[in-house]
Structure 1
Amino acid sequence: MSGVPNEVRGVVAEGYEEVREAFATVVAQERPDYAGQLAAYVRGRQVVDLWAGPETDGVDGDTLFGVFSSTKGAAHLVVALLVQDGVLELDRPVASYWPEFAAGGKEGVTLRQVLAHQAGLIGADTGFTPEELADDRALAARLAAHRPYWRPGAAFGYHALTIGALTGEVVFRTTGRTLQQVYEERIRAPYGLGFFLGLPEEQEHRFRSLLPMDPTPEQRAELGAVPQGPATLEAISFNTHGEHPTDLEALPNSRLVRAKGPASVGGVASARGLAGMYAAAVGVLGGGHAPLLKADTVAEFGQVHAHGIDVVARTPAAFVLGFQDPTVRYPWLGAGSFGHSGAGGSQAFADPRAGLAYGYTRRRFAYPGGAAPENVELVAAVHRAATR
């Protein structure tokens, strides 16, 4: 840990000075070893490009961190593109693409239901091995034969570790390419994004390992007071119930996970990469790039499909198609916003009505898990500046 005070580096555009101030406040309130990044695009230009971290760690704007479920945003941008191309149909049964999926009473489950976390296929009774969780096709083979944990369409619940494998297998069955390959060929490489689903060995030098959550005694007591059960829907969804319980914090530090880039949780990214992907999706990246998604596709995938109590997390939630509805956490964002947070604290989204794309990463797993609390102030500052 460096003894030198952590400093904010990078630039903001004129009119976004309050964003730098808000980020500096975050850095000042964190531990001295805090490392994180903040980036935003607004109507065709990058207006925020900030980072902080001990100089001894070599963190800069291109550094890559594990972004957990923010990976789901990249995965389902691939699905949105294939729907836009006419390759996939949202209301077609998954089993028509993937016949083995029909087992266990799933023959009528549609791609739309899977994307809305309504399929009930959150895990397996006996759990998964670490090797299976790193390999979407192995995970899909296990899931195909499994019965749903609720009647598909009757409820929704967070498919934390499985949704990317489910949608990824549909992509593979229709294109002959893995979801990761399609993402690389159509999204990451053409736009030069620092957001990888499968990190090449030659890019490993950019990655910084995740640091575990370091709760205060009060926070530790709060975590200990949360009811835990060995076979609850939440335990099954996060694979903590079987013979090989998943240590969520350890996932991005596994070279196997980084190399394979499982589409639910295995991505590594910079804030530039997160924001840049959403900017490319809705056409606010600039540089002459055409939008990845047409307006009708953005509207379809930005519609709320599941809203109410998540039966896995037992908390209020809302999902659009394959993405979270970020207005649940940031209610000032425009209707039709879509994005995804990650367990370690990352957050990324697009607000098409404001012409805004946002990305935030941090190195240490944030308390209590999910989008780090500081995102509330950071998103508010960026949005105020963008819509002023």
Structure 2
Amino acid sequence: MNIQGEVAEGFEAVRDAFVRNFEVLGDRGAAVAVYRDGRKVVDLWAGTKDVEGGAGGEPWAAGTAQVVRSATKGVAAVVPLLLHQRGLLDLDAPVGAYWPEFKAGGKERALVRDLLAHRAGVPALDVPLTPAEAADGLAGARAVAGQQAFWEPGSAHGYHAQTYSWLLSELVLRVTGASIGQWLAQEVTGPRGLEFWIGLPEAETARVGRVGPVDPPPQTAAGLRTRPRRNVSEAWADPSSLTRRAFAAITPLADENDPEFRAAELPASAGIGTARGLAGLYAALLGDTEDGTRLFTPETARLAGTELSSGPDRVLVVNTRFGPGYMLHSPASPLMSPASFGHPGRGGSLGFADPEAGIGFGYVTNAHAKSVTADPRAQSLVRAVQSAL
């Protein structure tokens, strides 16, 4: 395997784990980046740009970007937390204070913090949207505003896999007057040169590879084993289950390689970026950047890692933990330490920050496996980072 990039002295274990991902765990094209205390210590890529590229496919380049699915949620969470930091968004206010149409269907008392922590009670839609409706910026907001709550908001949590896109997008639009992708680009990623987009600009289309499903071999690296989750599988097999309905809120499921999907501003699932951009963003949240600037104040960084939801997840059917927009470290979704906050993407991608260790981590892949939260390739890389510290 021809591995490109570099690792700092002491982080060679990450390169070894990255190699094993291709040799043992079925990666086709992927990249991993790690920042520690503002210094880039890992920046590696290998394989082909397209998942089906094969031996003669175009190689993954330094600037190759990929769809990261729900790892987008962690990037998108930067926006409401920065709005809160600037005094423009009150997490304890009702969502309806900013978005009056949301006060329907038993959602009148849903708070902004409930929305961010998957406690808003609308993880699914009675009538799923078409891909065109999901992306038009109007139909999704109308649908979740009118949806009857599946539980009393704030009383329980369940992963809002797709509806999170329209909940967060509309909230940001009501507060700022800008779309979430525009605000992110203008205030966060653009000024810092971070390679991540919610709503891919046409000028960046050539750098993006094709993703697709794969069935990696069952072996695991570094002693990792994927735990079987029969309850999740059984729930997914039942078309009437909340699990199936939450992930199928867009029907048929959108083609992630379609240019229209990539251009859509869907902060739950359609973000596109490089591993370097993902890791660099999380490093910037902590203030660990080469120019010394930071996005989050220490108070906001602590807030990002504050538990708002924990215990049985009504959608994922396992115990999960969420902060305001971030998935937190747990057995179901291991990050690096209890202080970590970030988000995995179904199929493999992962981004997170660990304030205690000063780590910003990003892994992207075009080989989307069946994992939901704890992909063995990403976990192998996380363990390698831990071993290097």
TM value normalised by structure 2: 0.90
Aligned to 1:226: 234
Matched, 1:38 2:42: no
Q: Is the 8 A contact 2:180 2:265 kept in 1?
A: no
* C-alpha RMSD of matched pairs (Å): 2.3
AA at the equivalent of 1:262: L
Aligned to 2:323: 320
Cα shift at 1:372: 2.2
Aligned to 2:251: 245
Matched, 1:375 2:378: yes
Aligned to 1:254: 258
Superposition pairs of residues 175-214 of structure 1, within 5 angstroms: 175-214=176-215
Cα shift at 1:289: 4.1
Q: Is the 8 A contact 2:305 2:339 kept in 1?
A: yes
Cα shift at 1:222: 9.2
TM value normalised by structure 1: 0.90
Q: Is the 8 A contact 2:320 2:333 kept in 1?
A: no
Greater mean deviation of Cα atoms: 332-341 or 151-160:
332-341
Aligned to 2:105: 104
Cα shift at 1:170: 1.3
Cα shift at 1:134: 2.2
* Number of positions where the alignment pairs a residue of Structure 1 with one of Structure 2: 373
AA at the equivalent of 1:231: S
Aligned with residue 346 of structure 1, among 340, 344, 349: 349
Superposition pairs of residues 1-388 of structure 1, within 5 angstroms: 6-31=1-26, 34-54=28-48, 56-214=57-215, 226-227=234-235, 228-239=237-248, 245-247=251-253, 251-286=255-290, 288-328=291-331, 333-385=336-388, 387=389
AA at the equivalent of 1:25: R
Cα shift at 1:174: 1.4
Greater mean deviation of Cα atoms: 369-378 or 83-92:
369-378
If each structure's helix is expressed as a fraction of its own residues, which one has the higher value?
A: 1
Instruction: Could you tell me which runs of 5 or more consecutive residues in structure 2 were left unpaired when the two chains were aligned.
Output: 49-55, 220-225
Q: Is the 8 A contact 2:332 2:374 kept in 1?
A: no
User: For the residues of structure 1 that align with 2:126 and 2:352, how far apart are their CA atoms?
Assistant: 33
Decide whether aligned partners of structure 1 residues 316 and 222 sit closer, same or farther in structure 2, where only a CA change above 3 A counts.
closer
Aligned to 1:3: none
User: For the residues of structure 2 that align with 1:91 and 1:222, how far apart are their CA atoms?
Assistant: 35
Q: Is the 8 A contact 1:73 1:323 kept in 2?
A: yes
Identity of aligned residues (%): 39
Decide whether aligned partners of structure 1 residues 225 and 138 sit closer, same or farther in structure 2, where only a CA change above 3 A counts.
closer
Q: Is the 8 A contact 2:329 2:339 kept in 1?
A: no
Cα shift at 1:285: 2.3
User: For the residues of structure 2 that align with 1:135 and 1:364, how far apart are their CA atoms?
Assistant: 28
Greater mean deviation of Cα atoms: 301-310 or 227-236:
227-236
Cα shift at 1:373: 1.1
User: For the residues of structure 1 that align with 2:217 and 2:297, how far apart are their CA atoms?
Assistant: 46
User: For the residues of structure 2 that align with 1:330 and 1:22, how far apart are their CA atoms?
Assistant: 19
User: For the residues of structure 2 that align with 1:289 and 1:209, how far apart are their CA atoms?
Assistant: 35
